[in-house]
Amino acid sequence: MPFVGIVRAGEIDSPVASAVYGTCATAAGTAQKEVTLPDVDAVFTGLTIFVKFTNSNTAASPTLKVAGLSAYPLYRTGVQSPGVTPETSWAAGAILPLTFDGTAWLIAGWLNTNTTYNNATPSVPGLMSDTDKAKLDAVSFADSLLFQSVAVAPGAWVSDTQYQSYPYKAVISLTGVTADYFPQVAFSLGQIESYFPASVAETGAGTVTVWVRKRPTEAITIPAILCTRQATGVT
């Protein structure tokens, strides 16, 4: 093998092997790939080479024959590369690092830059499976509705017995709100000191209900009401 330098360990000089590079022009559909490498006349366990494949691979159970020696199977992640999909084979022009383990050439991996992946639909796989895409389409992600400067007229407040310490409530109409939203009502400091609002609120069909200890006798403007709905449909 060629060498690029000397490593000195104590009194012993050890040669350092350079990376061995070659090109394989075997047709994509031919299972036995062949490559000629300079200065390589034998293969041994631990030998690592770099091979640029001119063509992609579409053959099942491909093998690699180096320097006219025996052909050995090409494996990736413990499975002989079937060459059926971009995920399990390589694209034209790919450079693969290959290590011989004594019985097969192990592919460390490849970066496939020549394949375009389509978006999945509920019936056609793409960047994800069609089954997962159908599930994703059924998911309603968390969303929120923010209402600012919400005016509440004095006549909106009515007596109520739901919370003993807060005997007055106002049902505020807010477009888009449903009962599955969680409300957060931000009163001003002055409103808190004057009306003592409850820390709870409830949502309904197009409404948010708030409670206070002391009934406002004039119109007030609540600075903000945030309604958040949690995700649904996740399986």
151 and 85 assigned to the same domain: no
Q: Evaluate the CA torsion angle 232, 174, 167, 187 in order and state its sign.
A: positive
Q: Give the separation between CA 211 and CA 199, rounded to whole angstroms.
A: 8
Confidence of residue 3 (pLDDT cuts 50, 70, 90): very low
Q: Give the separation between CA 12 and CA 210, rounded to whole angstroms.
A: 85
Higher-confidence position of 7 and 214: 214
Is residue 82 in a domain? yes
Q: Give the separation between CA 99 and CA 207, rounded to whole angstroms.
A: 67
Nearest to 120 by CA among 109, 136, 107, 106: 136
Q: Give the separation between CA 164 and CA 198, rounded to whole angstroms.
A: 11
95 and 147 assigned to the same domain: no
Is residue 166 in a domain? yes
Among 56, 82, 107, residue at a domain's last position:
107
Nearest to 163 by CA among 209, 222, 226, 203: 209
Is residue 200 in a domain? yes
Q: What is the pTM of this model?
A: 0.43
The phi, psi pair for 162, rounded to 5°, reads -65, -40
Is residue 235 in a domain? no
* Mean pLDDT over the full length of the chain: 82
The 10s digit of each residue's pLDDT in 156-165 is 999 999 999 9
Compute the CA torsion angle 55, 58, 64, 67 (nearest 10 deg): -30
The 10s digit of each residue's pLDDT in 182-230 is 999 999 999 999 999 999 999 999 999 999 999 999 999 999 999 998 6
pLDDT at 24 over 90: yes
Domain count along the chain: 2
Beta bridge partners of 146: 226
- State the burial class of residue 59 (Cβ atoms within 10 Å of its Cβ: 0-12, 13-18, 19+): buried
Nearest to 184 by CA among 165, 166, 197, 168: 197
Is residue 129 in a domain? no
Q: Are 7 and 14 in contact (CB under 8 A)?
A: yes
Boundaries of domain holding 19: 3-107
Among 107, 134, 166, residue at a domain's last position:
107
92 and 182 assigned to the same domain: no
Is residue 149 in a domain? yes
Q: What ranges make up the beta strands (E) of the chain? A: 3-9, 12-17, 20-24, 32-35, 48-53, 63-66, 71-76, 79-80, 95-100, 105-107, 143-152, 157-159, 168-173, 181-186, 197-204, 207-212, 220-229
100 and 10 assigned to the same domain: yes
The amino acid present at 220, given as its one-letter code, is: I
Q: How many CB atoms lie within 10 A of CB 135?
A: 15
Question: Residue 39: what pLDDT?
Answer: 73
Tokens describing residue 65: 């024959």
Question: Residue 131: what pLDDT?
Answer: 78
95 and 149 assigned to the same domain: no
Is residue 127 in a domain? no
